[in-house]
Structure 1
Amino acid sequence: MSAPLNPRRSRAPAAPIIGIAVTAVVFVVTLTWSKWVPYTAQALQAAGSGAWGGANVLTAGGVRPGDPPSWHAATSFLVAYGGAVWKALLAALLIGAALQALVPRGRLLRLLNRRSVLGSAVAGGLGSTPSMMCVCCTAPVVVSMRRSGVSTAAAIAYWLGNPLLNPAVLVFLAFVAPWEWTATRLVVGVLVVVGGAALVARLTGDRRAPSGLVDAAAAEPDGRAWLGGAPGRFGRALARMTLVLVPEYLVVVLAVGALRGWLFPIDAVTGTGLALVVLAAVVGTLVVIPTAGEIPILQGLALAGVAAGPIGALLVTLPVVSLPGIVMVGRALGWRATAATGALAGAGGLAGAVLLTVL
Structure 2
Amino acid sequence: MHTLRQPRVALGWVTFLLIAVVGLFYVKWFPYYNRAFVAASQHSIGKSILMGTAASAPAPSLQAALDYALAYGRAIWQAMVLGLLLGSAVQALIPPQWVARALGRNDFGSVVTGGLMSLPGMMCTCCAAPVVAGLRARHAAPGAAVAFWLGNTVLNPAALVFMGFVLGWQWTGLRFALGLLMVFGLGYVVNRMVTPTEAQASRDALGKLLEREEPGNAFARWIRILGRMTLRLVPEYIVLVLLLGAARAWLFPHISPDIDNSIWWIVGFAVAGMLFVIPTAGEVPIIQAMLSLGMAAGPAAALLMTLPPISVPSLVMLGRSFPARVLALVSAAVVGFGIVSGMLAVTLGF
- Is 1:290 the counterpart of 2:279? The answer is yes
SS of residue paired to 2:326: helix
* Cα separation, 2, equivalents of 1:90 and 1:109: 25
> Would the aligned equivalents of 1:101 and 1:234 in 2 still touch at CA under 8 Å?
yes
* Cα separation, 2, equivalents of 1:249 and 1:220: 35
Judge which range, 193-202 or 203-212, deviates more. 203-212
- Is 1:158 the counterpart of 2:171? The answer is no
- Is 1:262 the counterpart of 2:250? The answer is yes
- Is 1:33 the counterpart of 2:21? The answer is no
* Cα separation, 2, equivalents of 1:82 and 1:219: 38
Q: How does 1:130-145 map to 2 (within 5 A)?
A: 130-145=120-135
Which residue matches 2:301?
A: 312
Q: Could you tell me which amino acid in structure 1 is paired with residue 279 of structure 2?
A: P
Q: Could you tell me which amino acid in structure 1 is paired with residue 239 of structure 2?
A: V
Equivalent pairs counted in the alignment come to: 346
> Could you tell me which of 70, 75, 79 is aligned with 2:66?
75
> Would the aligned equivalents of 1:70 and 1:258 in 2 still touch at CA under 8 Å?
yes
Q: Could you tell me which amino acid in structure 2 is paired with residue 59 of structure 1?
A: M
> Would the aligned equivalents of 1:152 and 1:209 in 2 still touch at CA under 8 Å?
no
1:101 Cα offset (Å): 0.4
Q: How does 1:79-158 map to 2 (within 5 A)?
A: 79-114=70-105, 116-158=106-148
1:119 Cα offset (Å): 1.7
> Would the aligned equivalents of 2:65 and 2:243 in 1 still touch at CA under 8 Å?
yes
> Could you tell me which of 2, 11, 19 is aligned with 2:12?
19
Residues 311 and 205 of structure 1, relative CA distance in 2, 3 Å threshold = farther
> Would the aligned equivalents of 1:136 and 1:324 in 2 still touch at CA under 8 Å?
yes
> Could you tell me which of 28, 36, 46 is aligned with 1:43?
36
Judge which range, 117-126 or 159-168, deviates more. 117-126
* Cα separation, 1, equivalents of 2:199 and 2:83: 22
Q: Alpha-carbon deviations, 1:52-96, whole Å to 9, x = none?
A: 132211126x98636431000000000000000001000101111
* Cα separation, 2, equivalents of 1:287 and 1:66: 13
Residues 121 and 145 of structure 1, relative CA distance in 2, 3 Å threshold = same
% identical aligned pairs: 41
Q: Could you tell me which amino acid in structure 1 is paired with residue 33 of structure 2?
A: T
1:12 Cα offset (Å): 3.7
Residues 125 and 208 of structure 1, relative CA distance in 2, 3 Å threshold = farther
Q: Alpha-carbon deviations, 1:189-238, whole Å to 9, x = none?
A: 000000012113324648769759x799964667xx87x62012101110
Residues 309 and 203 of structure 1, relative CA distance in 2, 3 Å threshold = farther
Q: Which runs of 4+ in 1 moved over 4 A?
A: 206-212, 214-218
Unaligned runs of at least 5 residues, structure 2: none
Residues 190 and 198 of structure 1, relative CA distance in 2, 3 Å threshold = same
* Cα separation, 2, equivalents of 1:66 and 1:130: 33
> Could you tell me which of 243, 262, 270 is aligned with 2:231?
243
* Cα separation, 1, equivalents of 2:67 and 2:264: 31
1:305 Cα offset (Å): 2.2
Residues 65 and 102 of structure 1, relative CA distance in 2, 3 Å threshold = same
* Cα separation, 2, equivalents of 1:217 and 1:95: 24
> Would the aligned equivalents of 1:285 and 1:318 in 2 still touch at CA under 8 Å?
yes
> Would the aligned equivalents of 2:274 and 2:310 in 1 still touch at CA under 8 Å?
yes
> Would the aligned equivalents of 1:151 and 1:209 in 2 still touch at CA under 8 Å?
no
* Cα separation, 2, equivalents of 1:23 and 1:279: 42
- Is 1:230 the counterpart of 2:253? The answer is no
Root-mean-square deviation (Å): 2.5
Residues 246 and 294 of structure 1, relative CA distance in 2, 3 Å threshold = same
* Cα separation, 2, equivalents of 1:233 and 1:217: 18
> Would the aligned equivalents of 2:55 and 2:255 in 1 still touch at CA under 8 Å?
no
Q: Could you tell me which amino acid in structure 1 is paired with residue 160 of structure 2?
A: L
* Cα separation, 1, equivalents of 2:55 and 2:294: 17
